Structure 1
């Protein structure tokens, strides 16, 4: 910190993106603190997949390793939630934690991730992240050759079904939201995917109980959640969000810079589709670019 106890960088969010940004900054001898609320999106999952060199590592173990690396370079992790952030008159930011602790920093990195809003069908939320999944690249291998039911509730559902048909010959599409567009139905049938025109009442251990009380067996269920970036604490900064078919996110440029000067973002908060490896890579990019900006400012 400088003489005014102001950090170089405050990182909000201690997932893969936030920790990667913080480690990069700490290795450049920047004073950096990570505030983490302890609610990682992938906490229900048994393991992290498609992460080169760390295949199957538990989410908790991965984050613990990241924290140890950060501490080794002098970085700090603070447990807590940021309740509000304001811009200081002489530039920089002041963040207030839920316990009324105040942290000042020259720059701010938002890596708070997102919240998955699941379809409101009883039984889905309880199995989310285990046998209720959404990404063929995160968990598809683990359900290969199983009886997979894709719950049709969003425009992405048909795309999900086509991708999962690469992993199992037993994929069914439950048209919960209503009849499919004829072209989408043609695509599914071309891949051998049976279309079930019914609504789901609830998800049970053996599969979906349908509107007519029949059971649609399922060993794995694929859903398309609506993904909402966690941004409430930063609204006072005038930080804009945008929408796409997947949900709401913070737009950034190729380096992670937002439209608000001094504010950067990385991971799922700015890229709804990012897996763990991509989120960490984005965090590393933000850390490097932010350090370069501070070097140039020092000139």
Structure 2
């Protein structure tokens, strides 16, 4: 006799801070949970994460390792593979995996995060997450008082003034055809930001240590760290059959998936947690969002379970 395949209460695609936090909350609620993780965390290039109380300076990969270990006692299962696509059915969702198996669950949490698309500048990617950065709150302390170069982008006039709180040696490299308004130039002058009418073409230095940049005018400048604005992109190919649509974030920094105030999508039973919905969330914020999503999904399951129990009771009474 053929046994029926297991249907989990919740499947979570993505094993970062958001996904693992959601799994922990649901596991502690005695739900059957499976986490599907391709092992490609966004912050893997960074040596350390910050602004996470009690974990400041911890390697982000170590955080995930500790988090996974904590899930074991709650019976949460982790499958190390890529989710390929997802179908919706009466039972909930069926997810096809890269290891040629399938997983079914009543509810689905997507916590796949986002991808940082960097400008195509030779040498830039090798230093990303350490001495090439975009967020002063994530890594500003580590480059305080150093010579910082801001690479031209649509957000450069936001970043250059902001980084003067961490260093008074900030240089904005902008294209000669990019015109700054008089008030913008005045602000930069007041804050001591040097404006160079030339864009960065190459990042100079060895692995782990930026020593300068080469510019479009052929000159070189000594720089200790670079500020860049990546384009944030989300990959929802693992649920492509569900018709989930990404859209441009209101800030103009990239794409995300819109959700309601509770993190639920237009697809019934599909919830989002972390950077895939909120590209601005740091690690501790993504973890908190995952926790909240776990509680909401559990509440949704409880309602369904309670309604089912009441319906069964009524059927029994009707027979009697």
Structure with the greater alpha carbon radius of gyration: 2
Q: Which residue of 1 aligns with 2:317?
A: none
Aligned to 2:20: 19
Within 5 A, what are the aligned runs for 1:1-299? 4-88=5-89, 90-154=90-154, 156-176=155-175, 178-182=177-181, 183-205=183-205, 206-244=211-249, 245-299=252-306
Q: TM-score, normalised by structure 2?
A: 0.90
RMSD: 1.4
* Deviation sequence 1:184-234 (CA, Å, 0-9, x none): 333222211111111222111221101222112210100000000121121
Contact 1:122 1:202 in 2 (8 A): yes
Deviations 1:128-168 (A, max 9, x none): 111111110000000000000010122x2211112211000
CA contact (8 A) 1:84 1:95 kept: yes
Contact 1:152–1:177, Cα closer than 8 Å, also in 2: no
142-151 or 70-79: bigger deviation: 70-79
2:70 is paired with a residue of what secondary structure?
helix
The TM-score with structure 1 as length reference comes to 0.96
Per-residue deviation at 1:177? 7.7
**Offset, 1:12:** 0.3
Distance in 1 between residues matched to 2:174 and 2:294, nearest whole Å: 44
* Deviations, residues 45-83 of structure 1 (Å, cap 9, x unaligned): 111101011110111110011101111211011100011
Contact 2:176 2:197 in 1 (8 A): no
In 1: Cα distance, 2:52 partner to 2:176 partner: 34
Question: 1:177–1:123: structure 2 CA closer, same or farther, 3 Å change rule?
Answer: farther
Provide the rounded CA distance (Å) in 1 between the counterparts of 2:108 and 2:186: 48
| Secondary structure class of the residue paired with 1:23 | helix
CA distance in 1 between partners of 2:269 and 2:187 (Å): 46
Worse overlay, 185-194 or 138-147: 185-194
Query: Deviating runs (4+, > 4 A) in structure 1?
Result: none
Number of equivalences: 296
Flag structure 1 segments of 5+ consecutive residues without an equivalent.
none
Q: Which moved more, 1:269-278 or 1:186-195?
A: 186-195
Q: Is the 1:153–1:177 Cα contact (8 Å) retained in structure 2?
A: no
